[in-house]
Structure 1
Amino acid sequence: MESVFAAAGLLTVAALTPGPNNLVVMQAGARSGWRGALPEILGAVLGGLGLLAVVMLGGTALFELLPAARTALAVGGCLYLLWLGAGLVLGSLRPARPEAAVGPTALPAGVAPLLGFQFLNPKSWVMVLTAVSAVQVGSTGAALAWLAALFVLIPSVCLVLWAALGALLSGALRRARVRAWFDRAMGLLLVASALLLLRDV
């Protein structure tokens, strides 16, 4: 059970610190309010559970057998995050129409896109692989059930907080110039998080 508490601590830190999921959910909260970001939150949580299932059903063994597959997945995911971040930055440099100040962005939105996004998100893979390896040695079915529950509860709470932060900023983001700077900052943060993850590949 101690390993489950350790995994909970790791999961909390990973879910609270800035990363691709948090930035996407914050963007959705800024666009539609925290309730409007619920589809993105649901997609991220379901995707995390999907990753957890893949890893618990043998994904770890596959990566041990084919280390190049893990590297390719990590590099591909980082390149995808770099592409998303660059899209936000470049989009923010175009002259914005006032009515489009809080319009759609290059980031994925909705349940299905966010669910799929988890499989391309290197931070999600690192979080799941680390949590499972912390719990799996001598783990019981109860410990694994607790881990699955934590993968629902902790990210849900943290992502709602990020969506609420986005909703708090939404008034200011209705101004085209502020929105452009916000998108630029979000894009640069996404690029920075991708580069940091790429460094550890």
Structure 2
Amino acid sequence: MSALLIGAGLIAVATITPGPNNLLVMRIAARSGFMSALPAMAGVVAGGLAMWALVTAGASVAFQAQPRLYTVITIAGAAYLCWMGARLIVGTFAASGRSLPAETSVRPNSAMALFGFQFLNPKGWVLVLTVTAAVGNGAAHLQTSLMLAALFTVIPALCLALWCAMGILMMRYLDTHAARNWIDRLMGALLFVSALMLVLVPVDMSHR
């Protein structure tokens, strides 16, 4: 039980702190409401569960055998974050010339895009590998696996819901076209910073 509590703490700290997933989900909630952000939240949670399933099936061996795999994931993840950040920033300038508010609907592929991004997020892999190693199989493998699956589902969902609430509250006081554009520019800039942090603060996964 103590190992599960440690794992829960690691997941909570990793998922509540600012990061690309939280920023993107918060942005969707701010522009389109909590219900519109649910598919994106589901994509993040499902991606995390899929990563955990791969690690449980033996993906950690691949990182140990091929340390360069982490470098490939880091570069791909940073490039993807830069692309998303650039789209947000460029979109605000394109919308600035319109007389009508910018479109705030959520694209149907938001959930799939965030689901796929989880596999390009090296910090996510580190979290899953660390928690899985800390908890271990235990005497009751099935029970431990079910508990881990629950932790990787409930805790990230609650943390994302909090970020959604912050986004909705923020836009309640900044509900103008100009303010929305500046928020999107800030979000885009933060995604660039997240990409830079991925590259400048690498994590050695070969010993996980």
* Alpha-carbon distance in 2 for matches of 1:172, 1:37: 19
For normalisation by structure 2, the TM-score amounts to: 0.85
Please give the alpha-carbon distance, in whole angstroms, between the structure 1 residues aligned to 2:55 and 2:194: 23
Structure 1 residues without counterparts, runs of 5 or longer: none
Q: Is the 8 A contact 1:98 1:175 kept in 2?
A: no
1:170 deviation in Å?
3.1
Task: Verify: 1:144 aligned to 2:150, yes or no.
Answer: no
Taking structure 1 as reference, are residues 98 and 13 closer, same or farther at Cα in structure 2, changes over 3 Å only? Answer: farther
Residue 205 of structure 2 corresponds to residue 183 of structure 1: no
Cα 1:124–1:41 shift into 2, 3 Å: same
**Aligned sequence identity (%):** 44
After superposition, the Cα gap between the structure-2 partners of 1:99 and 1:133, relative to the gap in structure 1 and judged at 3 Å, is: farther
The number of residue pairs the alignment matches comes to 200
Report the equivalent of 2:8: 8
**Structure 2 stretches of 5 or more lacking a match?**
203-208
Equivalence map 1:92-107=2 (5 Å): 92-96=92-96, 97-101=98-102, 103=104
Q: Tell me the residue number matched to 1:163.
A: 164
Which residues in structure 2 correspond to 1:36-115 (within 5 Å)?
36-96=36-96, 97-101=98-102, 103=104, 110-115=110-115
C-alpha displacement of 1:162 = 0.9
> How far, CA to CA, are the matches of 1:140 and 1:199 in structure 2?
40
How much does 1:136 deviate?
A: 2.5
User: Which 4+ stretches in 1 moved above 4 angstroms?
Assistant: 137-140
- Residue 98 of structure 1 contacts residue 176 of structure 1 at CA under 8 Å; is this kept in 2? no
Over 3 Å counting, the alpha-carbon distance change for 1:77 and 1:178 in structure 2 is same
| Equivalent residue, structure 2, for 1:196 | 197
CA RMSD of aligned residues (A): 2.3
The residue number in structure 2 matching 1:30 is 30
Given that 2:70 and 2:122 are in contact with CA atoms closer than 8 Å, whether structure 1 keeps it comes out as: no
Can you list the C-alpha shifts for 1:81-120, whole angstroms capped at 9, x where unaligned? Answer: 1221233233334452253335358x99533222222112
1:172 to 1:99, Cα distance in 2 relative to 1, 3 A:
farther
